[in-house]
Amino acid sequence: MKLSPTTLGPLFAAIAVTLFSLNDVTMKFLSGGYALHQIVLIRSIVGMAVVMLFMVPFQGGFAAIKTHRIGAQMARAGMVFFANMTFFLGLAALPLADAVALFFVSPFVITIFSVLFLGETVGARRWGAVAVGLIGVLIILRPGTSAFQPASLLPIAAAFGYGGLHIMTRYLRNTETTVSMVFYIQLMFILATCALGLLMGDGKFATTDNASLEFLFRPWVWPEPSDLPYILVLGLFASVGGYFISLAYRMGEAALVAPFEYLALPLSIILGMLFFDEWPDAVAWAGIALILASGLYTVWREHQLAKRQTPKRQG
């Protein structure tokens, strides 16, 4: 039975989100023993192998990764790298559900970026959704209290990188293949983590008790044999998940696909409870609910505006 794009888009998004959530759990599990850039390098080498051995041959060969927009491709990949690194650094210090919830300020960032970089006009209702989401963020952050953690700002920084990624994807999607976007992400990760390894892989900066900074500055070590399967599976999850989420947005309407990314929130709560004995408190639940509601409204509103197909969209 052949499935329609209306079905395949959300299905591929759900698969991608599940893989990304398992990737987050694995990364958090490994964050106590290895340097982040070492894990990401090994993950990216595995991811590149998956791209070259399994994706490229089935997408037209090397022609599928050729590009005349290498600068834009690498800029997009750099945003993915920034988003990943800051999110994982936050993940080392925060409960899984809190980190994922804070990351979901990304729809609000995309709204702001669409005004700044795409010339779109945003009306009162979408700005209202942004405001509600930011209230949710403040509830989770709890600034000015003893519960505030500076590491909470890292998933928010990651959301800015993710917002930039979406703007660049809109810019490139009509000329670049899905597999080429995955390829240049893996290439950027390999180049950047090799540079970080040369700069700090000896652990000369590892003089802090902060979980996030320790994850960044810890010296490289040879992985324990028992940990190698987890590190290798990160590459599989990241590359296949990245491919599926790109494919999802190509095959399905954004309004149908984007809400499925929010599966990451309940998944993070369930996985945090199962693997790390974490459970959001009442205050965190309130913040998560506001972020979820405002984010889904923003996605729905984007769809309503897109249907009008006007040069300047009023929300």
- Candidates 108, 111, 156; CA nearest to 132 is 108
* CA dihedral of residues 13, 16, 21, 25 (deg, nearest 10): 180
What whole-number distance in Å separates Cα of residue 160 and Cα of residue 103? Answer: 9
- The letter for the amino acid at 119 is G
Concatenated DSSP letters for 239-308? Answer: HHHHHHHHHHHHHS-HHHHHHHHTTHHHHHHHHHHHHH-----HHHHHHHHHHHHHHHHHHHHHHHHHTT
Q: How does pLDDT run across 25-41, given as a tens digit for each residue? A: 999 999 989 999 999 99
User: In the structure encoding, which two tokens stand for residue 6, read together?
Assistant: 């209306």
Prediction pTM value: 0.85
> In this predicted structure, what is the pLDDT of residue 313?
45
The CA-based dihedral angle spanning residues 235, 259, 134, 279, taken in that order and rounded to the nearest 10 degrees: -60
Q: What is the mean pLDDT of residues 189-212?
A: 91
Helices 228-251, 254-261: axis angle to 10 degrees equals 160
Two tokens, residue 313: 């969209």
pLDDT value for 118: 66
What confidence tens digit (pLDDT) does each residue in 90-149 have? 999 999 999 999 998 887 787 787 777 767 677 788 788 888 988 998 999 888 776 688
Q: How does DSSP classify residue 313?
A: -
Dihedral sign (CA 159, 164, 170, 174): negative
Backbone angles phi, psi at 263, to 5 degrees: -60, -25
pLDDT of res. 273: 94
- pLDDT value for 162: 86
Are the C-beta atoms of 236 and 176 separated by less than 8 Å? Answer: no
Report pLDDT for 157: 95
| CB distance 214 to 262 below 8 Å | no
Digit-coded pLDDT (tens) for 68-101: 899 999 999 999 999 999 999 999 999 999 999 9
Q: What is the rounded distance in angstroms from the CA atom of residue 147 to the CA atom of residue 19?
A: 30
What is the distance between the alpha carbons of residues 271 and 256, in angstroms, rounded to a whole number?
25
All residues at 6 or more sequence positions from 209 whose CB lies less than 8 Å from its CB, including other chains: none
Neighbours of 284 (CB within 10 A): 21
Q: Distance between CA 56 and CA 116 in Å, rounded?
A: 35
DSSP category for residue 55: I
Residue 140, classed as helix, strand or coil, is helix
All residues at 6 or more sequence positions from 29 whose CB lies less than 8 Å from its CB, including other chains = 230, 275
Percent of the residues in the chain that have a pLDDT greater than 90, as a whole number: 45
- Which H helix or E strand runs over 100? helix 96-103
Q: What is the pLDDT of residue 9?
A: 83
Closest C-alpha among 98, 163, 96, 88 to residue 136: 98
